[in-house]
């Protein structure tokens, strides 16, 4: 089996690997905030590229090498926010063609501050593109909210209403940009077939890989932070121990 995690810049790591032929790539790169992101117990990484030109110079070759490792009918999910989403969508249109666009998902998370000068920012964007026309997709089912359908399930819309992880949550592992496992499980199951492969070139504390392994997919993560990969490896070890005890 392929190694679960690789330490290093995904640009260098993916250039060294044989083509992975992955079914799905999920990217949660730095957002270009222009500051160091700090979490619990000293966990941190630098997100300093707040200049759009410099940010796109950083992202372009990394997206290109990720696309090289996708199956001809593979999909890419690019997680971003208001800072760079418009630039990244134009880049994906250029690299894959505008017809490869599938969805612009909104992750509505609720937590966070507000401002007297603007509407409160309470969502991230996830750009969904498919490399080929025969891409895998299985619509997630979520609880219906209308009175007419109360107690039933319905297909998820392009607005994913999943709470972010609060500071007291048991799930919290200290990584500053950790995403909820519920979000990644929904995305992985929707966009990667059972038995398929998911790659995450900015894997942080490994939530994508954990979601993949929990749902009978192969997951491969890459990150430059030894601390992030230590957290990620511990999570996979715990998941393996749990499965062996059942």
The pLDDT tens digits of the residues spanning 61-84 come to: 999 999 999 999 999 999 999 999
Residue 94, token pair as written in the block: 């250029």
Residue percentage of the chain with pLDDT more than 70: 98
Task: Check residue 200 and give its pLDDT.
Answer: 98
When pLDDT is cut at 50, 70 and 90, the band that residue 3 belongs to is low
List the one residue out of 90, 202, 112, 235 whose CA is nearest residue 165: 112
Mean pLDDT score, 193-198: 98
For the segment 24-38, the average pLDDT, to the nearest whole number, is 90
Structural domain boundaries in the chain: 5-245
Residue 54 pLDDT: 93
Mean pLDDT to the nearest integer, 1-8 = 80
- Span 104-127, pLDDT tens digits: 999 999 877 788 999 999 999 999
What global pTM score does this model have?
Answer: 0.94
Mean of pLDDT values over 122-146? 95
**Which long-range contacts (C-beta less than 8 Å, at least 24 apart) are formed by 212-219?**
212/188, 213/239, 214/181, 214/185, 214/239, 215/185, 215/188, 215/189, 217/23, 217/188, 217/192, 217/193, 218/1, 218/2, 219/4
- Fold topology of 5-245: Rossmann fold (3.40.50)
pLDDT in the model for residue 12: 98
Mean pLDDT, to the nearest integer, of 156-166?
Answer: 94
pLDDT tens figures, 225-246? 999 999 999 999 999 887 776 5
32-to-49, 127, 141, 233 alpha-carbon distances in Å: 5, 17, 33, 27
pLDDT tens per residue across span 51-61: 999 999 999 99
Of 80, 57, 76, 55, nearest to 67 by C-alpha is 76
């Amino acid at each position: 089996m392929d190694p679960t995690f690789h330490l290093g810049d995904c640009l260098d790591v993916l250039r060294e690997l044989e083509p992975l032929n992955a079914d799905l790539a999920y990217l949660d790169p730095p957002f270009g905030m222009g500051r160091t992101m700090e979490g619990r117990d000293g966990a941190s990484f630098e997100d300093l590229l707040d200049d759009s030109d410099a940010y796109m110079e950083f992202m372009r070759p990394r997206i290109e090498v990720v696309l090289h490792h996708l199956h001809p009918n593979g999909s890419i999910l690019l997680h971003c926010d208001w800072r760079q989403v418009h630039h990244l969508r134009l880049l994906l249109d250029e690299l894959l063609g505008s017809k490869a666009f599938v969805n612009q998902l909104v992750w509505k998370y609720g937590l966070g501050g507000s401002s007297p000068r603007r509407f409160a920012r309470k969502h991230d964007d996830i750009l969904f593109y498919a490399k080929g026309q025969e891409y895998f997709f299985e619509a997630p089912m979520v609880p219906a909210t209308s009175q007419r359908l109360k107690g039933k399930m319905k297909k998820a819309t392009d607005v994913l209403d999943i709470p972010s992880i609060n500071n007291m949550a048991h799930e919290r592992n200290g990584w500053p940009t950790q995403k909820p496992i519920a979000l990644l499980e929904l995305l992985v199951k929707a966009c990667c077939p059972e038995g398929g492969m998911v790659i995450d070139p900015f894997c942080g504390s490994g939530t994508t890989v954990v979601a993949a392994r929990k749902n009978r997919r192969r997951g491969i993560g890459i990150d430059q932070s030894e601390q992030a990969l230590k957290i990620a490896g511990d999570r996979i070890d715990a998941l393996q121990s749990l499965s062996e005890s059942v």
